Amino acid sequence: MAEVIKNRIEFVILFDVENGNPNGDPDAGNLPRMDPESGYGIVTDVCLKRKIRNYVETVKEDEPGYKIYIKQDVPLNTSDNTAYEYLHTNSAEIKALKKKDPEVDLKIRDFMCREFYDIRTFGAVMTTFVKASLNCGQVRGPVQIGFARSIDPILSQELAITRIAITTQADAENKTTEMGRKNIVPYALYRAEGYISANLARKVTGFSETDLELLWEAIINMFENDHSAARGKMAVRELIVFKHSKELGDCPSYKLFDAVEVKKQEDVEYPRQYSDYIVRIHEDQIPETVEVSRKI
């Protein structure tokens, strides 16, 4: 069995987009998400975790211990049924089983953490279990990722496009093309910050050193198997990791994040590539007990 992580960790992800929409907002006609006051671009944590889940699912292909709980086209009840199979019971008999064994809720929670990588990593709210008289409740995952924000304000462009495949036969008699719209960001560099709690890993989910290495691999490659015409050219450019010397950490996380400076080159007005930025880590601001590594 892999060893559970023992050190608190923080990390910074830098990724960019070129001529694409990194995260459309369905409430705004699928325009790239943006802070309306400042104009900075936003990519949600849900979007980033989806990429990580997709990578793990692609690499592991439902290998035991690496299944994905939040999965497209798979109802949560379907995944929950694996827990009933583990207990050799069903939703109709679970109340009687709970009377015999008051530890059933805890056993199912631990089973779900062992079986599903994303529960072990990000946690989950297993409400379908509550409806079935179980009470696994909310599993707090040790890995948390905040919203990504662009380093500079973004300019969202709406482009007109045409296609020659007409939708209906009636329309085809009157026209040869149809119009459409496409929203892109010409270029933007985004920064996301994340946290990994060794305390929650030990007490709740059992997130291990092996799981951690898979997480780094998934973050570095999260756009490599997820290309689409809508998202343009996206890539993770930096993964900076801060490893504390103990479970509860050596200093506040904001001090480590503040030590990573990302800014435009002085002669660049409109950045259009990653080399238009400078990334500096001010190591004099980081305690000696915190280990810094750049995974890319």
Would 189 be classed as within a structural domain? Answer: yes
| Backbone φ and ψ of 220, nearest 5° | -60, -35
Instruction: Point out which residues pair with 238 in neighbouring strands.
Output: 14
Residue with tokens 């019971």: 89
Would 111 be classed as within a structural domain? Answer: yes
Picking from 23-27, 78-82, 185-189, 286-290, which range would have the lowest pLDDT averaged per residue?
78-82
* pLDDT computed for residue 132 by the predictor: 55
Would 176 be classed as within a structural domain? Answer: no
Would 173 be classed as within a structural domain? Answer: no
Cα–Cα distance, 13 to 148 (Å, whole number): 9
CA torsion sign for 66, 69, 72, 78 is positive
Give the whole-number percent of the chain exceeding pLDDT 90: 65
Would 164 be classed as within a structural domain? Answer: no
SS3 289: coil
Average pLDDT of the chain, as a whole number: 89
Tell me the residue type at 256: L
The number of distinct structural domains making up the chain is 1
pLDDT digits (tens, 9 = 90+) for 85-117: 777 766 667 777 777 877 777 888 888 899 999
SS3 76: helix
Would 172 be classed as within a structural domain? Answer: no
CA distances from 183 to 18, 33, 156, 265 (A): 12, 11, 7, 27
Query: Which of 256, 276, 39 is CA-nearest to residue 150?
Result: 39
Q: How many CA atoms lie within 13 A of 204 on its CB side?
A: 19
pLDDT digits (tens, 9 = 90+) for 21-80: 999 999 888 899 999 999 999 999 999 999 999 999 999 998 999 999 998 877 777 777
CA torsion sign for 80, 85, 90, 96 is negative
Cβ-contact 114, 65 below 8 angstroms: yes
Would 112 be classed as within a structural domain? Answer: yes
Would 167 be classed as within a structural domain? Answer: no
Range of the domain at 63: 9-159+182-294
Tell me the residue type at 147: F
